[in-house]
Amino acid sequence: MTIYLVVPLLLVVAVLQTSLVPHFALWGVFVDLPILFVGSWGLLAGSREGLLWGFIAGVTTDALSGAPFGAATFALMAVGFLAGLGEANVSRAQFALPLVTIFLATVLYDLVFLLIVRISGQPVVWLESLLRIVLPSAALNTVLAPLIYGPMRLLHNRFIREEMEF
Amino acid sequence: MTRERLRNLLPILLVVLTFTGLVLHSTGQLQPLEGLLVRVTKPLQELLSGATGQLGELAQTARDLRDLRQRNEELESENARLLLDNVRLREIQAEAALLRDLLNLKQDSPGYEVRGARVIGRVIGQDPSNLQRFVILDVGREAGLAPNMPVTTDRGLVGRVREVGAGWSRVLLIIDTKSSVNALTQSTRANGLVEGQPDGSLVMRNIPQGDVVSVGDTVFTSGLGGNFPRQLLIGQITGVERKDFELYQTATVQPTVDFDHLEVVLIITDFEPIEGTEDTDSGDGQP
């Protein structure tokens, strides 16, 4: 998919994440749209595109976040890259793989995010964050993953074999 | 350089770019770019926040109707009790005014400290991560805001300004795990540190064992450390944990501010934090 479509798409995702999504919290957490988009696209299009989507989504998210710049970018790049490793199996395990990928992607994202926050000198409450935020958030993202993965799959089929153009 | 080679170098390039961004952000040189993105997205954020607010109000109205009858009965009995309290408090107020005049003290009331310059900001966005508790306001440097200014509502302390752009600012909420505020209880004057928890609740730590802390007591900012004005309402104590072998007690605090439905806040612009005590991540610092 061309980068001229990806940048506005992920910018809108970041704006939705800061304005609309926090109003619909469940189990004390809200859905992480950037993880769902980057994880889904990485799984469908491979590591290279997953990495690039992670970078773009991360930069827009970091710009709107109070966290140290780079926390979301590094975390989403890791999500996109590692989700892309499952690309080869995506047609064989149609139902389970996206769900498992999004669950693990959320845990990975949050841990990388917290690690970078900690490295930048800010305090992190590891265990409580894991139990009260990371795991509920991973569960919520997994439940809602089909709502994003389905349309992303259709989008991917439309742009199949077309690598991102600069 | 061939196109294929550029593609192979892409992962390294992106990592280097991100590291560069991290370094530039820490030196403040990335703010113009971040400010540009916030300015670009601000109209959409305002639109979506407004729409969400209206939808929320509609749903809230339906819920309110259901609870109205029961609430009315409760309010009537509470009203009778408050009338009695009011008479008693007027007596106390008159007595306090008389004593103050006698002692010739120029004590500021809690309201006075926030009465000076104040700016009203509308919340247009929240932090995209579940792990952070920030809000984005639609006012910034142009309205006189600066980092570390305290932010309140009529219901109590919200947090403090962390970053400021031309027409926007980012506020670190007191329920964030990076926030800690020097506080004291109203009735027993017990000192402690109110800290945010990952689930958005508040805990008051470092309360000396000898101090009496009771459930229901109100918690205010103490003004120690000089980063917040004194006597800003924080919350109410809902539980106390005291172990004989520990130096300090811990209390859970229910914030008076509804952080899930923040819409309009006040920024206290005439309060100057004491220089040298600033701790951008930990608010008031240690007591």
Label each residue of chain A as H, E or C: CCHHHHHHHHHHHHHHHHHCHHHCCECCECCCHHHHHHHHHHHHHCHHHHHHHHHHHHHHHHHHCCCCCCHHHHHHHHHHHHHHCCHHHCCCCCCHHHHHHHHHHHHHHHHHHHHHHHHCCCCCCHHHHHHHHHHHHHHHHHHHHHHHHHHHHHHHHHCCCCCCCC
What pLDDT is stored for residue A18 in this prediction? 85
Q: Going by C-beta distance under 8 Å and a sequence separation of 6 or more, which residues neighbour residue B247?
A: B208, B209
Higher pLDDT, A141 or B285: A141
Candidate ranges A32-41, A93-102, B146-155; pick with highest mean pLDDT: A32-41
Residues of B in contact with A58 (CB under 8 A): 18
What pLDDT is stored for residue B101 in this prediction? 54
Residue A2 pLDDT greater than 90, yes or no? no
Average pLDDT over residues A39-51: 91
Average pLDDT over residues B219-247: 87
- For an interface test with A, the pick among B129, B160, B162, B170 (most A C-beta atoms closer than 10 Å) comes out as B129
Higher pLDDT, A59 or B35: A59
pLDDT digits 0-9 by tens, A6-26: 888 998 998 888 888 888 888
What pLDDT is stored for residue B276 in this prediction? 44
What pLDDT is stored for residue B95 in this prediction? 66
CB contact under 8 A, A18 and B44: no
Look up the pTM and report it. 0.72
What pLDDT is stored for residue B9 in this prediction? 82
CB contact under 8 A, A73 and B21: yes
Residues of A in contact with B158 (CB under 8 A): none
Residue A55 pLDDT greater than 90, yes or no? yes
What pLDDT is stored for residue B221 in this prediction? 92
Rounded Cα–Cα distance for residues B36 and B52 (Å): 24
Closest-CA distance of chain B to residue A111, Å: 10
Q: What is the mean pLDDT of chain B?
A: 79
Q: In whole angstroms, how far apart are CA A49 and each of A53, A79, A119, A144?
A: 6, 11, 28, 22
Residue B165 pLDDT greater than 70, yes or no? yes
Question: Comparing A1-10, B31-40, B116-125, which segment has the lowest mean pLDDT?
Answer: B116-125
Q: Going by C-beta distance under 8 Å and a sequence separation of 6 or more, which residues neighbour residue A148?
A: A33, A36, A37, A40
Average pLDDT over residues B27-45: 78
Nearest to residue A71, comparing CAs of A57, A83, A84?
Answer: A57
What pLDDT is stored for residue B261 in this prediction? 80
pLDDT digits 0-9 by tens, A88-117: 776 666 678 889 999 999 999 999 989 988
Nearest to residue A25, comparing CAs of B5, B259, B71, B39?
Answer: B259
Within a 10 A sphere around the Cβ of B37, how many other Cβ atoms?
17
Residues of A in contact with B56 (CB under 8 A): 23
What pLDDT is stored for residue B237 in this prediction? 93
CB contact under 8 A, B18 and A15: no
What pLDDT is stored for residue B111 in this prediction? 46
What pLDDT is stored for residue B239 in this prediction? 92
Q: Is B95 exposed, middle or buried (0-12, 13-18, 19+ CB in 10 A)?
A: exposed
Q: What is the mean pLDDT of chain A?
A: 86
Helix (H) or strand (E) holding B218: strand B218-221
What pLDDT is stored for residue B138 in this prediction? 85
What pLDDT is stored for residue B116 in this prediction? 36
What pLDDT is stored for residue B250 in this prediction? 93
Q: How many residues does chain A have?
A: 166
Give the torsion sign (CA, A42, A46, A52, A55).
positive
Q: In whole angstroms, how far apart are CA B138 and each of B108, B135, B143, B257?
A: 31, 10, 10, 20
- When pLDDT is cut at 50, 70 and 90, the band that residue B55 belongs to is confident
Give the torsion sign (CA, B243, B246, B248, B250).
negative
pLDDT digits 0-9 by tens, B248-283: 999 999 999 988 888 778 888 877 766 544 444 444
What pLDDT is stored for residue B97 in this prediction? 67
Average pLDDT over residues B30-44: 79
Higher pLDDT, B208 or B115: B208
Residues of B in contact with A16 (CB under 8 A): 48
CB contact under 8 A, A70 and B21: yes
CB contact under 8 A, B41 and A133: no
Cα B33-A117-B141 angle, rounded to 5 deg = 40
Rounded Cα–Cα distance for residues A114 and A129 (Å): 9
Interface size between A and B, measured as CB pairs under 8 A: 145
Rounded Cα–Cα distance for residues A153 and A94 (Å): 11
Rounded Cα–Cα distance for residues A124 and B169 (Å): 24
- When pLDDT is cut at 50, 70 and 90, the band that residue A162 belongs to is low
What angle in degrees, to the nearest 10, is found between the helix axes of A71-84 and A96-119? 150
